[in-house]
Structures are given as structure tokens and as C-alpha cells.
Amino acid sequence: MSESKPEKLPESSSLSSTSQDVVGPTAQPPAAALAAAESGGIGTVWVGGKKVNALWSINENRNSWIGVAGVGWLKLANNSDSAIVALTVLGANAKLTQGTVSYRQESDNMIHEIYVW
């Protein structure tokens, strides 16, 4: 079974519909980060001062994503059922309250830890 991914967020912040269909994540990492990732140079990274602006999940085991403002879609760690549920709840709280988040992203490009302020 192939794993689903979230669809692309609209470019504008308005809720008006456009004639173009939205199909996948829009944000791309900076070129330097891509080069480092391809060479295996990125390990654990702490990112702070961000806002969660979108949530996405589907009826598949351990497949939940959050949209981080200025970053794009990031998958939540899927190493256990309790981890994915806890991270999803924290992401939902961060989106609802628009609290500032700090998160730990590992070399697998997934979020493994979130703090919501």
C-alpha cells in the first residue's frame, strides 16, 4: 500500500476559490539544506518560533502531517501509535490556539518532538 501525502495549500491566505486545482505541498527547502540532506549532512535540528497553519491525516496507520508556516508540510513521527496520537493532538492544539511551537526534526525529515507555547 502506498502512503498518501497531504495536498498543496493555497498560495494566498484568503479563502476564496481559484480556477486552479491545488495538488501538493508548495514549500521547498532551501538549496543548501537540500544539498546537505542529499550528502547525509543533516541530523537532529531544533526549530523554534513557528506557527502551525494546517493539519492533515488520512485513514491509514500512522500517517499524519502538520503544515508549518514558512516551512511547509512535515510528517509526524510514526514510530508508535502513542507518539503519532500525541504529536497530532499537540499539532491540533497549536493550530487552534495559534501558539508558537518549537519542534525537533530528525534526519528522516519527521517531527519527533513538539513544544507548544
The predicted model scores a pTM of: 0.65
Write down the pLDDT at residue 22: 53
pLDDT band at 8 (very low <50, low <70, confident <90, very high): confident
Write down the pLDDT at residue 43: 79
Which is it for the CA torsion 103, 33, 62, 26, positive or negative? positive
CA distance 58 to 1: 13
Cα 109 to its chain centre, rounded Å, is 9
pLDDT value at 90 more than 90: yes
pLDDT tens digits for range 18-72: 545 556 556 665 665 556 555 555 678 999 999 999 999 999 999 999 999 999 9
> What fold does the segment set 31-116 form as a domain?
OB fold (Dihydrolipoamide Acetyltransferase, E2P) (2.40.50)
- The domain segmentation of the chain, as residue ranges, is 31-116
